[in-house]
Structure 1
């Protein structure tokens, strides 16, 4: 258990509520110290509901509180960069909700600040912190389906057309909200040696993406297909097929179970993944370990993995002509070899 750390939460919306419910499970490990909102009354109501010691009516007040050990940023995508930069400039380490930033250049700047100031910084891609993520990887390495060759990851969830989802001014769109989870699957289980990418999307009237399909082809011939949508409902599922069978597991973000099938399609094994506590707790406990050990990043979500994902997201958005209102010209344009390791990776032929 060791020393408890004081956590301050920026934002008092749905994600902050989910995290607060999780923190109640590990109150022996962390102290729910403060919550901040742009509305003091909202912060006070939130603090009372979940038991935070302090409520602040501005993010800056919370960040400047000398008793805060870790700031969890649960604001809109478009605010992650400025909120995290404020934390770092005030000497505070932070855990930033996914997507880490709106683009790779923002992420690079934050990481450089953290490096120079020797501060902790991590991305709250909670799926990577789940014990199930490692367990699935171990099963695949042990050859449960032979050699994997094909992956499908679907995360399609009907969402109300709020500004958070549809506004390009708020870094909305399905890619940064849901697609990032699905894209994590090939990174975890198929690696990074991508030689060809096909991508297509359907957009809202605002220009934000509402349905995406991405196909990755690897140097060894393996393929991964990613689907994400905020305009359609589909079971959240990952399938990986090999030469001796296939596995199905999901949901994409929570990883609650896995099923193993033979080449005949018969179910051979089903395993439920039981978490010791609320799944959000794992990323917080990892942050605590890193802080107490004097580390600047977490083992599960190190800076290079965050930059890799931000590069993939930029590259796909650039190809699909999806821009956020605040982005400067050229801000998400990168050479293919810098992001994917190969030149001319995008395939513009019709699927």
Structure 2
């Protein structure tokens, strides 16, 4: 039976997500409803993507009995309340990253999901690309020996976009781009806890961070070097170095190729859609949706590739980075 999806948010990322997932058979995934803040946006999105039901506001979507799981793709500061509403109405949720604005909100959502026995996952889509999964398999198999170093640098010239810079929209390099670099090094050094983190960065005139970098030291001589920027296009490559070789992941956040230790390149073609995508390699958004379907089918409430504990740790790291750089959001003072 097909997993019935609802969509919260009718923006660009939701367009790409729906377009990607619709490359799968309708016997596996079907979209039944979409909600947005404005009626016009919801109706247009529904028409563009052949979705039968649209809602102004999110409550109607939460109450829709023809929805199994909701993809939350609205603005960063709205993730918490939207996801909370969906969970409280019995919906499974796949929520875009950054999952919430801080660690407190993140912990609260996972608590609700566990109490209600509902599947909840942060949409770290990067981990589900075949190229990423092959990289992880090679690391775990010892193919490149003991991994001692990882580096990843992610930057785009996007400081002209309000969503990226404005405080009230949850802007900042750390939340929007930093989540990618942090999840990458976390995935490489999985199950290890940092013993020291040195962080530096710059804040823009709006009070949000425009760039950030860090050296993250782990036990046993392991280290990660990471940086992100909203003012510069950086190499945007993930590199993993072991005692027996190096793996390179170009476009690490949405990779379709992996460079092996001998320099050869493995390619992983992405699904093809007749509908244009708005973002680079967005066809790969489909992989996390299929992972969610498989997890729900098996009765799981969390995904082994991005379990609740790792999502919480990402939120903790991003909060630490923001604190060191000097960025605080109104949500940070929220109490439950």
Return the TM-score normalized by structure 1.
0.87
Q: Is the 8 A contact 2:80 2:105 kept in 1?
A: yes
Bigger radius of gyration, 1 or 2?
A: 1
Answering whether residue 62 of structure 2 is matched by residue 67 of structure 1, we say: no
Write the distance in 1 (CA, Å) between the matches of 2:57 and 2:23: 27
Show the counterpart of 2:132.
133
Q: Is the 8 A contact 1:152 1:225 kept in 2?
A: yes
Q: How large is the Cα RMSD of the aligned pairs? A: 1.7
Answering whether residue 292 of structure 2 is matched by residue 297 of structure 1, we say: no
Write the distance in 2 (CA, Å) between the matches of 1:80 and 1:28: 29
Answering whether residue 317 of structure 2 is matched by residue 312 of structure 1, we say: yes
Extract unaligned runs of 5+ from structure 2: 273-282
Structure 1 SS opposite 2:263: strand
Structure 2 SS opposite 1:238: strand
Show the counterpart of 2:288.
283
Write the distance in 1 (CA, Å) between the matches of 2:248 and 2:133: 15
Write the distance in 2 (CA, Å) between the matches of 1:144 and 1:271: 15
Write the distance in 1 (CA, Å) between the matches of 2:246 and 2:293: 37
Q: Is the 8 A contact 1:7 1:71 kept in 2?
A: yes
Matches within 5 A, 1:1-351: 3-26=1-24, 27-191=26-190, 192-261=192-261, 267-275=262-270, 278-328=283-333
Show the counterpart of 1:343.
none
Q: Is the 8 A contact 2:203 2:211 kept in 1?
A: yes
Return the TM-score normalized by structure 2.
0.91
Write the distance in 2 (CA, Å) between the matches of 1:56 and 1:199: 43
Q: Is the 8 A contact 2:22 2:30 kept in 1?
A: no
Show the counterpart of 1:341.
none
Show the counterpart of 2:278.
none
Q: Is the 8 A contact 2:92 2:119 kept in 1?
A: yes
Query: Offset of 1:28 from its aligned partner?
Result: 3.1
Query: Offset of 1:40 from its aligned partner?
Result: 0.9
Write the distance in 2 (CA, Å) between the matches of 1:260 and 1:212: 29
Q: 1:98-150, CA deviations, whole angstroms, 9 ceiling, x for partnerless residues?
A: 11111111011111111112222111110122232221022223444333222
Query: Offset of 1:207 from its aligned partner?
Result: 1.2
Higher relative contact order (CA 8 A, sep 6+): 2
Write the distance in 2 (CA, Å) between the matches of 1:36 and 1:243: 50
Q: 1:46-97, CA deviations, whole angstroms, 9 ceiling, x for partnerless residues?
A: 1111111111111111111111111110011111001011111112111110
Q: Is the 8 A contact 2:83 2:95 kept in 1?
A: yes
Write the distance in 2 (CA, Å) between the matches of 1:247 and 1:88: 39
Q: 1:215-270, CA deviations, whole angstroms, 9 ceiling, x for partnerless residues?
A: 11111122111011111012310122233332221212112212234xxxxx5322
Query: Offset of 1:273 from its aligned partner?
Result: 2.4
